[in-house]
Amino acid sequence: AGGGPLLPDSVLFEIFLYLDHVDVLSVGLVCQQWHAVARDEFLWKELFYRYYRISRDVPRHPAAVSWYDEFQRLYDTIPCVEVQALREHNDQVLHLSFSHSGCLFASCSKDCTVKIWSNELDISLQHSSNMRPYNWSYTQFSQFNSDDSLLLVSGVFVGPHNSSSGEIAVISMENFTLLSRVRNKPYDVFGCWLNETNLISGNLHRIGRITSCSVLWLNNAFQGIESENVNVVKRLFKIQNLNASTIRTVMVADCSRYDSPDLLLDYEEQLAASSTSTCKVFDLGSDSEEEEAKPKQAPEPAVQELPADRGVTAEDGLQKLFDDIMEGRMRRPMTETELETRVAELFVRNRTKPPELNLLPTDSNSKTKYLIFTTGCLTYSPHQIGIKRILPHQMTTAGPVLGEERRSDEFFDSLDHVIDIHGHIIGMGLSPDHRYLYVNSRAWPRDCVISDPMQPPPIAEEIDLHVFDLKTMKEVKRALRAHRAYTPNEECFFIFLDVSRDFVASGAEDRHGYIWDRHYNICLAKLQHDNVVNSVAFSPVEQELLLTASDDSTIKVWRSPRALRAREARKPRPRKLLFSWLMNQKS
């Protein structure tokens, strides 16, 4: 009935019950003769929309050739079958990351080790590095560089309960030796690669009780073996933080593929692309590239707005503020926190370098990259996404350690764009083409007012998964929902998500991992653990393989039904011995 494995009768029996004009008797008849209807497009279209409860305004996936094939894809290619449980960690597993080749992956844990695994037919442990000798408390994040020769590992220092210091280690994949270590503060900056040999770390300088300055540094991975005459570190950006906020969770997005994404999420753009170009059709269950043409449109400016009174000097503003206080012209007495914030705002107004006016890339071959991170302006809980463009000349440690010379009125760097989430951000992930940013957040109550930055609003148990188009800087689609979290603001922790070409997956505090389809915005699978699921990771070369990591100290391996059949077919079958055949011939 059209190539590939057919859907079982039991599945057809269940799904045909969703059609109003089919009763139980006719279902039985259909299940016996379903070969005849397997290519009835009207039937499969009705079946698809009703079974998955999708609005009819949602078109079919742009690369699908039929409704039958699309139904089969969502049934047969979801990595929802557990095939292996890895129990080599003896504490909570916090993070997973694949190499770009898909041959290896790394895991970080509260047991203070980073483990390297070989991704073969059966996954096996290849190496384990214990970071306790370096005074680490635990490992929390890892990332392979672009050619998979180096592994960045981020960890937390042993210290008092409220300590925020961390460190980044670089490990060679050739012989698993430690090449360098870089201080990272706060520890939940995590760190990331900018290119093959340079990584980004953070530092935090306190200015007042709730005011600080975050400095982002570019570091050479080979600091321990470079010549004394070559710079191994350079300051990238210096950004002021207000109301106890800090920069955290840095990542880098490459803008070069924005005009040829793997999947356009805007349905109108999909229609325009399909009508103006001939799209290459590919198997939606495989990982071959889809060529799509993006219609050109005039980019809208997405620049952070500057205060209307920017022309007022800091000195004049401060003098006016003090005069208003002394002469009783304030509507109400200012608290110490409010006064500190107001003075900091006045100081930074004339000491900040203006943002880039043309943030959106216009050249598809642009070498520009975006530095993306969580931040805030109202309270310490991360509730905004900051975006800062990194220009080509900034992507090396060559030049002055403190970066380009600055005028006195450019003491701080401004953000080029800010996305306000109105909730506590607990996870971020980029699509493989870096066109879309997926954000896990727990919403604040509508119309809430924050009067004390140390008392953020309560957060919802439901996790919203937002999607932002980094080419237009706009939110696309409605937020995905299904997963939940229960910890309050002060105990809230990061839940890592991952995005493949067709799917997005996330952990949750409800002891499950979740998988959604990116095009249809529907939840396709729940993957069970015995405790909180902290991280998920798709294989970059095989999206039908997914890993999940949990507080239950296990890593689970999930494959699709289709991948399982192919895996079983590759297993060697036992062969009869020659002497057995000879004995049978004798008898």
Measured CA to CA, the distance from residue 508 to residue 495 in angstroms comes to 7
Lowest mean pLDDT across 278-292, 385-399, 477-491, 533-547: 278-292
Yes or no: say if 187 and 166 are a contact pair by the CB < 8 Å rule.
yes
Please state the rounded mean pLDDT for residues 357-375: 73
- In whole angstroms, what is the distance from residue 152 CA to residue 180 CA? 10
Does one domain contain both 150 and 46?
no
Whether 128 and 61 share a structural domain: no
Asked if residue 557 lies in contact with residue 82, where contact means CB atoms within 8 angstroms, the answer is: yes
- Domain of residue 376: give its range: 81-259+366-569
Q: What is the per-residue pLDDT for 290?
A: 36
Higher-pLDDT residue of 311, 89: 89
Last residue of a domain, one of 33, 57, 77: 77
Number of domains making up the chain: 2
Contact status, residue 106 vs residue 88, Cβ threshold 8 Å:
no
Is residue 580 a contact partner of residue 572, using CB atoms and an 8 Å limit? no
Residues 69 and 205 in one domain: no
Q: For 190-236, what is each residue's pLDDT tens digit?
A: 999 999 999 999 999 998 889 999 999 999 998 765 545 566 899 99
pLDDT confidence of residue 257: 80
Least confident range from 60-74, 305-319, 407-421, 533-547: namely 305-319
What are the pLDDT digits (tens) for 49-92? 988 999 898 999 988 999 888 988 998 999 999 999 999 999 99
> Is the pLDDT at 159 greater than 90, yes or no?
no
Q: Is 63 helix (H, G, I), strand (E, B) or coil?
A: coil
Higher model confidence: residue 547 or residue 346? 547
Tokens, residue 54: 């999708």
Q: Using the 8-state DSSP alphabet, how is residue 506 labeled? A: E
* pLDDT exceeds 90 at position 416: yes
Query: In this structure, are residues 35 and 1 in contact, taking their beta carbons and an 8 Å threshold?
Result: yes
Last residue of a domain, one of 36, 62, 77: 77
What values do phi and psi take at 487, rounded to 5?
Answer: -70, 145
Is 274 within the bounds of a domain? no
Q: Looking at the structure, do residues 427 and 478 belong to the same domain, yes or no?
A: yes
Rounded average pLDDT over 282-301: 36
Whether 232 is covered by a domain: the verdict is yes
Identify whether 172 is part of a domain: yes
Report the alpha-carbon distance of residue 107 to residue 94 in Å, rounded: 8
In this predicted model, what pLDDT tens digit does every residue of 94-111 receive, in sequence order?
Answer: 999 999 999 999 999 999
pTM of the model: 0.83
Question: Does one domain contain both 143 and 30?
Answer: no
**34 and 150 assigned to the same domain:** no
Last residue in a domain, options 34, 51, 77: 77
CATH number at 54 reads 1.20.1280
CATH number of residue 490's parent domain: 2.130.10.10
Q: How confident is the model at residue 387 (pLDDT cuts 50, 70, 90)?
A: very high
Per the model's pLDDT, the better-predicted residue between 338 and 366 turns out to be: 338
